[in-house]
Structure 1
Amino acid sequence: MTTNAGKSRFEAKLLRPAKPGDDPSWAFAVLPRDASERFPRRGRTTAEGTINGHPFRATLEPDGQLSHWLKVGRELLDAAGVAVGDIVTLELTPVNKEPEPDIPADFEQALAAWPEARKGWNNTTTIARVDWIHWITSAKQLKTREKRMGDACDMLATGKKQVCCFDPSGYYSKAFSAPEADN
């Protein structure tokens, strides 16, 4: 994979998700492939940027097509003075150092109950921790999530540093995609 780390500037339409979940106030934009290629990975990654000149920092999500999509929450929509349907100018730059991910409370409890798993967790890289959490939280059913947490603790306790058989881009597994836009 070729990386052209650096700032990208492009226009995108803010789309309303067809299935917004419990919060219908957010929008999203899909990055053009050439903008996405400026990031070091096709999985979850953090960007700093501006939307119509208003600064923000956000996690870009994989779209399953070797690109990313950006969730734009109500707070950012309001602060930037933009709305669903607007064509916005985005400037995005990869962060110099990926921030530590927030550990979901249930996984934090699992790690606390398994000292060897916690030790393994502490010996992984930030990017590996992002992938472990993404693998766990991408489960569609609670039963699957619970199994993945147990498997993660087992693998970490035995010294495994990365999730095996997990495609963080969703391209090969078709596990991830950008939200479907509401027409």
Structure 2
Amino acid sequence: MATNDTSSEFKAELLRPAKPGGDTPWAFVILPKSASEKLPRRGRTTVEGTINDHDFRATLEPDGQLSHWLRVNQELLDVIDANIGDIATFEIMSVAEEPEPEVPSDLAEALALAPQARVVWDETTTIARLDWIHWITSAKQAKTRAKRISDACDMLASGKRRVCCFDPSGYYSKALSAPKAAE
């Protein structure tokens, strides 16, 4: 179920990432600010709608510029009959209820070993859990990620329900951004 006041229609180029990583090609789209501004948050947010008249549901990532970007994998490119470089037509709106995020295995293992942290984790909102996961997964180095998992368990065990000092939009910290497009 979606919220109509967040509805937007736009056209955008399917961009090739400069550093795609992996063997499977994928594309991305940076949402127009006007579409992003209608969404409920500047951080990760889930939308549903259509691309070239084909239904889809995806979690948008923050681009660090108070907007969002969308990864379009090869499977979706095939479904929408589009190639990197094509202009696609989008209709999006936020979902009525954010889906439960997938907990990374290293965080799940740490929470299993910290029962007090797990209790608070289970009592937080879906959005709070999404922010905790985003904070952890936005670490660029394995050492930083491990420290954030340890810190998260400590903070949760002490009753802290929200991660502090984390800008989920990436705008103020510049920790998050959209991929760079290939030339």
The interval holding the TM-score normalised by the smaller chain is over 0.9
Q: Could you tell me which runs of 5 or more consecutive residues in structure 1 were left unpaired when the two chains were aligned.
A: none
Q: Is the CA contact 1:62–1:68 (under 8 Å) kept in the aligned structure 2?
A: yes
Q: Distance in 2 between matches of 1:19 and 1:63?
A: 16
The answer to whether the aligner puts 1:71 opposite 2:78 as a matched pair is no
**Shift of residue 5, structure 1, vs aligned partner:** 3.4
CA displacement 1:87-120 (0-9 Å, x = unmatched): 0101110000000000001100000000001001
8 Å CA contact 2:62–2:170 kept in 1: the answer is yes
What aligned pairs does 1:55-134 form with structure 2 within 5 A after superposition? 55-134=55-134
Contact 2:24–2:74 at 8 Å: present in 1 too?
A: no
Q: Which amino acid is the alignment partner of residue 139 of structure 2?
A: A
What is the count of residue pairs matched by the alignment?
A: 180
Q: CA deviation at 1:24?
A: 4.2
Coordinate RMSD, CA, aligned: 1.0
State the SS of the aligned residue for 2:140: coil
1:91 aligned counterpart, secondary structure: strand
Whole-angstrom distance in 2 between the partners of 1:51 and 1:121: 35
Normalising by structure 1, report the TM-score: 0.96
Calculate the TM-score normalised by the size of structure 2: 0.96
Give the % identical residues: 67
Contact 2:44 2:60 in 1 (8 A): yes
Query: For residues 81 and 101 of structure 2, what CA distance do their matches in structure 1 show?
Result: 29
Contact 2:48 2:93 in 1 (8 A): yes
Is this contact kept in 2: 1:16–1:27, CA < 8 A? yes
- How far did 1:6 drift? 2.2
C-alpha separation between the residues in 2 aligned to 1:178 and 1:116?
36
Alignment CA distance shift 1:83-1:21 (3 Å): same
Q: Distance in 2 between matches of 1:43 and 1:23?
A: 28
Deviations 1:143-174 (A, max 9, x none): 00000000000000011010000000000001
Q: How far has the Cα of 1:64 moved from its partner?
A: 0.5
